[in-house]
Structure 1
Amino acid sequence: MKKLLMISLLHDKYINTSLGTFKISVWNGNTLLVFLNGYGPYDTAQIFQPIIQSIPKEIGILAIDYLDSGLSSSSTKPFLLTDEANLVMQIIQEQNSQKIIIIAHSLGGLYALLIAQNIDQLVGFIGIEPATREILLNPPHTPAYDRDAKEDAEITENEIMDLMHNRIYHAFPKDLADKIWITSLDSEKRNRQNKQPHGLNLELNILDGPEFLNLKLKQMIPTILFVRPYRINEYNHSEYHTKKNVYRSFRK
């Protein structure tokens, strides 16, 4: 008998909230892996599909598309990251799982930090270069950091589109890459057609607010951080460093 891949067991659901409609992909389990994507128009379940499809069916999965991304709706009004994080936290709690592990990429790390403060069932965190306050507010000045900052400052919108297209088609099989790319274009089109003020307020001054100033993972939470080697020192004193911290290096 052919073994069912986890990705085929996921159910898509749509959850209406005051800010818009979230699309989630879910498979319930006593232990729940929660996937939080980085910033962008991409569908979370699609981006993490190569990982999700290898997870045994005894483990629960929850992949959440942020508002204005993936298959979630355009937001109904402007909102703060803390507003959306509270709604995501409610969705996680409604799954009634006994153990929760969060897997977060980039901006998803900030959501995870907020959510972790109110999830008693959290037993682990896996971060793929989760965003730190330091990198956003006061990045180190070393050749590697300065090189990245220069590239980010000089790249045009069209170049970003070409770069993301190339990365997606390099990282994923063509049929999945097609799905990811088409979903992202449809998401961006929906957001352009929404003429009302809406969307996530990404002004960095929120990180100096009381919600973020002393925000850290609890020190006994096991964490695995996938980071480029030159950023390890940054993460050693970051919000994600705990007493049970393990690093895994990768290169772009």
Structure 2
Amino acid sequence: MAALNKEMVNTLLGPIYTCHREGNPCLVFLSGAGFFSTADNFANIIDKLPDSIGILTIDAPNSGYSPVSNQANVGLRDWVNAILMIFEHFKFQSYLLCVHSIGGFAALHIINQSSKACLGFIGLEPTTAMIYRAGFSSDLYPQLALRRQKLKTAADRLNYLKDLSRSHFSSQQFKQLWRGYDYCQRRLNDVQSLPDFKIRLALGEEDFKTVISEKVPSIVFSESFREKEYLESEYLNKHTQTKLILCGQHHYLHWSETNSILEKAEQLLSNHEKL
């Protein structure tokens, strides 16, 4: 894996685990909900980036190697403010966001609030307000219903993710990915049954009012059956570089569509030369 400096950065939410490599512009990675550490989750992209590009990965509370903490009274604004504190801790002037799933909501707010120049947004099936309000219901898409029918138990879902990651990761990347997953899960097993303990922050209607800035190019990767959802979503604008790319047959597109993501990242990072 690329040589990254590991650091717990103090924020208003407490210490947050990051991996960082100096460089400007900086490619910032955010994962969705889950136990994976972000650096491990995006390893097959990170390992192929040029040495001149800065890298920053951030583990949300109760994910990866960030500390365990009760998120019962934590909202999206708190998480965004913590990320902005991390941005200020590291000395880059411009950045490109590459985010998966529910990390998309935080990304939209970061773009609007950060004083640093955003070169672009790459969303890997970022969660839309539409599907979140629907409770991620399988009724929205027959394809989702069929997938969930095959993955009824926690063991089914775990084996599915292991097989999927094994088919796209190197042996070393695969071991590191699941080492971090197991470490996170073991720690949460001790607390998640406690009364009033919440693993994830809550989202409200106010969080869904932010849309991608018209000044920021946005590239969204999605499975083809979600095309209409994204064309009408908060993630696409009329910027000349904005594009919806339909590909893949699963939600973890950053595991399988590495080369295409790297190609688009290179194009957006070149916007740095125009600043």
After TM superposition, is the score higher than 0.5? yes
C-alpha contact (below 8 Å) 2:36/2:180 kept by paired residues? yes
2:87 pairs with 1:89: no
| Separation in structure 1 between the aligned mates of residue 218 and residue 190 of structure 2, nearest angstrom | 40
Partner of residue 48 from structure 1, selected from 37, 42, 49 = 42
Indicate how the Cα distance of structure 1 residues 152 and 99 shifts in structure 2: closer, same or farther if over 3 A, else same: same
Letter in 1 for 2:19: S
2:178 pairs with 1:178: no
Q: Tell me how large the CA RMSD over aligned residues is.
A: 2.4
CA deviations over 1:157-208 (Å, ceiling 9, x no partner):
2222222222221221122111111210110111112365242134xxx342
2:24 pairs with 1:33: no
CA deviations over 1:118-166 (Å, ceiling 9, x no partner):
0241120001111100122248999981330454377222222222222
Please give the residue correspondences for 1:56-135 in structure 2 after superposition, counting only pairs within 5 Å.
56-78=50-72, 79-120=74-115, 121-135=117-131
2:157 pairs with 1:160: yes
Per the alignment, residue 199 of structure 1 pairs with 199
2:220 pairs with 1:225: yes
CA deviations over 1:90-109 (Å, ceiling 9, x no partner):
21232232211100011111
| Separation in structure 2 between the aligned mates of residue 111 and residue 50 of structure 1, nearest angstrom | 23
Partner of residue 210 from structure 2, selected from 212, 215, 235 = 215
- SS of 1:199's equivalent in the other structure is coil
Letter in 1 for 2:35: P
TM norm structure 1: 0.86
Partner of residue 17 from structure 2, selected from 5, 12, 23 = 23
| Separation in structure 2 between the aligned mates of residue 142 and residue 87 of structure 1, nearest angstrom | 33
Indicate how the Cα distance of structure 1 residues 130 and 141 shifts in structure 2: closer, same or farther if over 3 A, else same: closer
Question: Aligned residues, how many?
Answer: 241
C-alpha contact (below 8 Å) 1:81/1:200 kept by paired residues? no
| Separation in structure 1 between the aligned mates of residue 57 and residue 125 of structure 2, nearest angstrom | 18
TM norm structure 2: 0.79
Unaligned runs of 5+ in 2: 250-275
C-alpha contact (below 8 Å) 1:85/1:114 kept by paired residues? yes
| Separation in structure 2 between the aligned mates of residue 111 and residue 143 of structure 1, nearest angstrom | 26
